[in-house]
Amino acid sequence: MKITSYRRDQASEFSFTPENLKKAKAYMARYPEGRQASAVIALLYIAQAQNGGWVSPAAIEHVAEVLDMAPIRVHEVSTFYTMFNLKPVGKHLIQVCRTTPCWLRGAADLTRTCQSKLGVGLKETSADGLFTVMEVECLGACANAPMVQINDDYYEDLTPARLSEIIDDLRAGKEVPVGPQSGRLCSAPEGGPATLKDLPAPAKKGAEKDAGTEKGA
């Protein structure tokens, strides 16, 4: 492995499970020989999932070893992208979108709900280890604002009361429906379609032909 001055965490060890190593090699195989470092983001995702939602120094070094990269280079990637967590997180990672559409629709209230209900600040984990709360920039569900991402799932069209219920259900181990929480389908208009509601009745088969014949006559 390439030489580095990056300090190894002596407190823990990490290596891919056989299943995850197979996944890692599949990603690496997508790139030409000598370019396997291009798979670093994919391998960090695999490592983070295996490591309980965060990439430890040991996980970073293992990814570097698999890819034959200097660990500091992998560390640079993991610290640049905010989707990689560099310290342990709770079982349910709540990411509150705070970009303009969500902010205008009450994202700050969602953050306050999480903090007061769980007794944590931003980037802190609840005492039971179940929840970590953070604010992030646009998650791309602007038409369904405000929303949060919990682990890999989106919960949209939220109110503080509904988010509080979701937290209670997750704590109880219940299955929570993902997506819009208002009852609408995906990004369909609230209350149903708002345009093209008064369309003329479709013409009967052959009616246009008959009308053309009459007009020509």
CATH number at residue 75: 1.10.10
Amino acid at 212: G
Task: Answer whether residue 75 is part of any domain.
Answer: yes
Q: Which helix (H) or strand (E) holds 150?
A: strand 148-150
The residue segments making up the domain with residue 150 are 92-180
The verdict on 100 and 56 lying in the same domain is no
Tell me the C-alpha distance between 110 and 1, whole Å. 46
Write down the pLDDT at residue 6.
38
Q: Are 76 and 69 in contact (CB under 8 A)?
A: no
94 burial via Cβ count (<10 Å: 0-12, 13-18, 19+)? buried
Q: Are 7 and 57 in contact (CB under 8 A)?
A: yes
Rounded to the nearest 10 degrees, the angle between the axes of helix 160-171 and helix 107-118 is 40
Joined tokens for residue 173: 């181990």
The verdict on 107 and 176 lying in the same domain is yes
Write down the pLDDT at residue 1.
39
Write down the pLDDT at residue 206.
64
The verdict on 75 and 101 lying in the same domain is no
The verdict on 103 and 132 lying in the same domain is yes
Distant-in-sequence, close-in-space partners of 4: CB < 8 Å, separation ≥ 6? 64, 70, 71, 72
Write down the pLDDT at residue 49.
95
The verdict on 148 and 102 lying in the same domain is yes
The verdict on 173 and 110 lying in the same domain is yes
The whole-model pTM stands at: 0.77
Q: How many separate domains does the chain show? A: 2
Task: Answer whether residue 196 is part of any domain.
Answer: no
Write down the pLDDT at residue 197.
63
Write down the pLDDT at residue 156.
97
Q: Which helix (H) or strand (E) holds 102?
A: helix 100-104
Joined tokens for residue 114: 């999480």
Percent of the chain whose predicted confidence (pLDDT) is above 90: 76
Averaged pLDDT score across all residues of the chain = 88
Task: Kindly give the parts of the chain with pLDDT less than 70.
Answer: 1-11, 193-194, 196-200, 205-217
Write down the pLDDT at residue 191.
73
Write down the pLDDT at residue 193.
67
Write down the pLDDT at residue 198.
65
Write down the pLDDT at residue 3.
41
Task: Answer whether residue 135 is part of any domain.
Answer: yes
